[in-house]
Amino acid sequence: MKADYTVGEVELTYKSTSKARSKIYSSEDAYKYLLPTYKEGTICYKEYFKVLFLNQSNQVLGYTLISEGGITETCADVRIILQAALLTNSVAIILAHNHPSGSMKPSRQDIEITKQVKDAARLMRITVTDHLILTDAGYYSFADEGQL
């Protein structure tokens, strides 16, 4: 008896909600774009990992929340990050997460996830242009600090 396997249809969609597109020229531009995406008071409350999607002109296609964690960590899945980047036809992405502690120093896990996403994205010809650690007082940029 032959087994019958059926696979459901998968529908992938991305709809841009913005007509005017911001351009990202620097880590400061990315910080200024992302900071308002944190509801007031939440940046010091718990960790959120977000990704900013860019086209070939460094214009923002959008952003998404990848994961929401606790006070000291959140788990970002490389596959979900790349799935979203491919869905939006992104040429480049900027990773971002906040440190509720207010520390702008990257942890070992921050450095690891940056490398994992960068290596995986390279296979898809997507560039990780930066990884920002945001606090309400400022930010740390992996690109500015030569960590990419």
The pLDDT assigned to 96 comes to 97
Q: What is the model's pLDDT at position 50?
A: 95
E strand intervals along the chain: 48-54, 60-68, 92-98, 127-135, 138-141
Quote the pLDDT of residue 21: 84
The pLDDT value recorded for residue 38 is 82
Phi, psi of 6 (to 5 degrees): -125, 145
pLDDT of residue 70: 75
Residue ranges of the chain with per-residue pLDDT less than 50: none
What is the pTM for the complete model shown? 0.85
Instruction: Say how many Å lie between the first and final Cα of the chain, rounded.
Output: 54
Give the per-residue pLDDT at 68: 87
